[in-house]
Amino acid sequence: MIDSTGNTVSTGLNVNSIRADFPILQRKIHGQNLVYLDNAATTQKPNQVIKSLTDYYEQTNANVHRGVHTLSIEATDGYELARSKVADFINAPRSEEIIWTRNTSESLNLVAATWAENNVVAGDNIVITAMEHHSNIVPWQQLAFKKGAELRYFAHNSDGIIDLEHAMTVIDERTKILSVTHMSNVLGTVNPISELAGRAHDVGAVIMVDAAQSVPHMPVDVQDLDADFLAFSAHKMLGPTGIGVLWGKVSLLEDMPPYMFGGDMILEVTYEDANWNDLPYKFEAGTPNIADAFGTGAAVDYLSRLGMKNVWRHEQDLTAYAMERILSLDTVKILGPKDPSMRGGVISFIHDSIHPHDLGTALDQQGIAIRTGHHCAMPLVRSYDVVAAARASFYIYNTKSEVDALVNGISETEGYFNR
């Protein structure tokens, strides 16, 4: 519950205090206070993260690993400390299971190009849901084409809830990998990963989890989920752009070949051959994104101080309020679960007479930032017989008054188009 001043009362977050940490929230857009509701695309960055980047470049800038001078040692220590923080954040058993990548998309591609490339053969099948982001469709499509494998989808109902019974039949003895979103970036649906993991393991398959929309917003424990691989991006959880995470069970990672070749991922090179470095460095060729690892560590610190249970309660409370307010408009249809407790802070909606791009442009004139389009989930959006949808998505610094601004903005836009 959020009181009239914007403070969260029952969820443990003081939103006014949080908002003070985000310089960009002081901006005015077209003369209006910024209302930023595009958090599923990327989140804003607090002073603590921005400062960590500045401090790195001003005080510590050096390449990591093998350097014996002070700056290199400091950079290496900070880089590896950030890896350990991420491991703790998702309850990974070992920090060497954390692989730095550029983003969730690269993490998914890494698994497709290494583990799946080595294990999927003709006649096997790969299983995903019908609500996946393009990054969790296209790599598997391409692998299926290459290997002569079958790409299977299991269904969800009109409310965006997967048919678990159907999923259990789609996953069979020829399934090698199940790759599924933890939370849909369009529907907001939170999928039952542990149940799906159990079925995958029963038939000898592995499960890859796209957690880009879950790790930033709710407590995620890779051991409780019983996942084999899990991927997410720092920029969706207060961190910098250009850095992401692949977590994998050490037993799987050790058997996988490198994804790229070059410096730091090698143990020894001769003119005739090369041997690969230990985990996690086998998958981190070349100079890594050191500064943004520092920034990711700072983002993890920030969220850990708030408490992910508090973050999740705040977003569920805000989402329930937003759904009630948006559905008060007879002209708007919401995609995804009707029950707010079954979804995260993502609400995609369709207006019955205003194109999403027109609506997004009109809201921008009022200082309100939402996302419009197919949200990198074109097959899913088209399955609702539309080519685009508007999407509002929430985070720790959003308030009910901003939800009110969104709903009032939609009403004002309707008035303009109906003149």
Q: Which two structure tokens, joined as six digits, stand for 158?
A: 């009109």
Specify if 6 maps to a domain. Answer: no
368 with 281, same domain: the answer is: no
Specify if 118 maps to a domain. Answer: yes
pLDDT at 10: 54
Specify if 5 maps to a domain. Answer: no
Q: Which residues are catalytic?
A: 376
241 with 118, same domain: the answer is: yes
CATH number at residue 408: 3.90.1150.10
Cα dihedral 236, 226, 158, 153 sign: positive
Over its C-alpha atoms, the chain yields an Rg (Å, rounded) of 22
Which residues of the chain have a pLDDT value below 70? 1-11, 419
Q: pLDDT (tens digit, 9 = 90+) per residue, 12-34?
A: 899 999 999 999 999 999 999 99
pLDDT at 7: 45
314 with 366, same domain: the answer is: yes
288 with 316, same domain: the answer is: no
Residue owning tokens 């989402």: 319
Total domains present in the chain: 2
Specify if 340 maps to a domain. Answer: yes
pLDDT at 236: 98
Among candidate residues 249, 271, 305, the one where a domain is terminated: 305
Phi, psi of 397 (to 5 degrees): -100, 0
74 with 117, same domain: the answer is: yes
Specify if 3 maps to a domain. Answer: no
Specify if 289 maps to a domain. Answer: yes
190 with 299, same domain: the answer is: yes
220 with 284, same domain: the answer is: yes
CATH number at residue 185: 3.40.640.10
298 with 344, same domain: the answer is: no
For 356, the domain range is 15-33+307-417
Specify if 38 maps to a domain. Answer: no
Q: What's the rounded Cα separation, in Å, for the pair 186 and 374?
A: 8
293 with 399, same domain: the answer is: no
pLDDT at 66: 82
- For 181, the 3-state DSSP assignment is strand
Q: Do 220 and 211 contact (CB within 8 A), yes or no?
A: yes
In this structure, the strands spanning 98-101 and 125-129 are unpaired
Angle at 103 (CA atoms; ends 137, 142), nearest 5 degrees: 25
Residue owning tokens 């100079």: 287
398 with 321, same domain: the answer is: yes
What distance lies between CA 298 and its chain's CA centroid?
17
In sequence order, the 6+-apart residues with CB closer than 8 A to the CB of 192 are 162, 164
Question: What's the pTM value of the predicted model, to 2 decimals?
Answer: 0.95
409 with 269, same domain: the answer is: no
Specify if 44 maps to a domain. Answer: no
pLDDT at 4: 38
pLDDT at 415: 83
Q: pLDDT (tens digit, 9 = 90+) per residue, 348-384?
A: 999 999 999 999 999 999 999 999 999 999 998 998 8
pLDDT at 12: 83
pLDDT at 419: 64
pLDDT at 11: 67
Among candidate residues 284, 305, 326, the one where a domain is terminated: 305
293 with 335, same domain: the answer is: no
pLDDT at 164: 93
Among candidate residues 256, 290, 305, the one where a domain is terminated: 305
